[in-house]
A and B are shown apart, each in its own frame.
Chain A
Amino acid sequence: MDFTIRIQAQPFDAAAETAALTRGRLDIGAVVAFSGLCRDEGGRLAALELEHYPGMAEAEIGRLADQATSRWPLLGLTIVHRFGRIAPGEEIVLVLTASAHRQAAFEAASFLMDYLKTQAPFWKREHLKDGTVGTWVDAKEADDLAADRWR
């Protein structure tokens, strides 16, 4: 199965990515799309800065995609993750999973997001509205617990 993995600074178009995934396909019965957006944290945040580990980010997401396609009967998969400066309201990450029936697409998308958050080498730092550079965002224990439930 073909899958698309991209790590990029520029914004993406979720609708265009979905259209590309399903174009010409008559076997796909379900597409689940998850978009992760940058919040303004109650108006505090000017932007998030995402640092990543080039090379490992692609490799690790590729390994997660391999796990997802071996666990669920997916017919298509797209993962796009941005790095650099991202303003509130902009999208950070996109996961598209396509399958014949909805359950596989729902579960694979949820699995991929749980592992992207805890295993893909990206780190977030806050830039505040008052012009100062805030702190690095701490990893959440809840995210680790969410990933653990797939073991």
Chain B
Amino acid sequence: MKLVYFAWVRERVGRTDEQVELPDGIDTVADLVRWLKGRSEEYAYAFENEGVVRAAIDHVHVKPEARIAGAREIAFFPPMTGG
């Protein structure tokens, strides 16, 4: 599964994208965030404030309870500031 990061989430994580093999039991976006936070200080810092970082599965905004089975690309980013 491909993960991509944008803006200050990208800077804190220290990479633009990566391929990950998820262990069993990671079923939702919230599960994935919890797993990422346990990987290193960088991920823990990026996701330190629960609920601030937004997620999208295959280019569609999703909530933390969204299931990730079958996802090709999951993105994490701060609240949008376009326009």
Contact = CB atoms under 8 A, between A and B. Distances in A.
B61 A119 contact: yes
Interface in B2-61: 4, 6-8, 56, 59-61
A127 interface: no
A81 B6 CA distance: 17
Interface residues of B, number: 16
Contacts of B6: 51, 53, 121, 123
Q: Is the interface of A mostly helix, strand, loop or mixed?
A: mixed
B5 to A, nearest CB: 10
Interface residues of A, number: 27
Contact of B83 (A55, A56, A113): A113
Contacts of A60: 59, 61
A116 interface: yes
Contacts, number: 71
Contacts of B60: 56, 59
Given A51-B6, A53-B75, A59-B59, A121 B83 contact: no
Contacts of A19: none
Interface stretch (A22-30, A70-78, A100-108, A136-144): A136-144
Those 6 A-B pairs whose CB atoms lie nearest each other, nearest first: A122-B82, A139-B79, A117-B83, A123-B7, A56-B59, A116-B83
Interface of A: 36, 50-53, 55-56, 59-60, 81, 92-93, 113, 116-125, 136-139
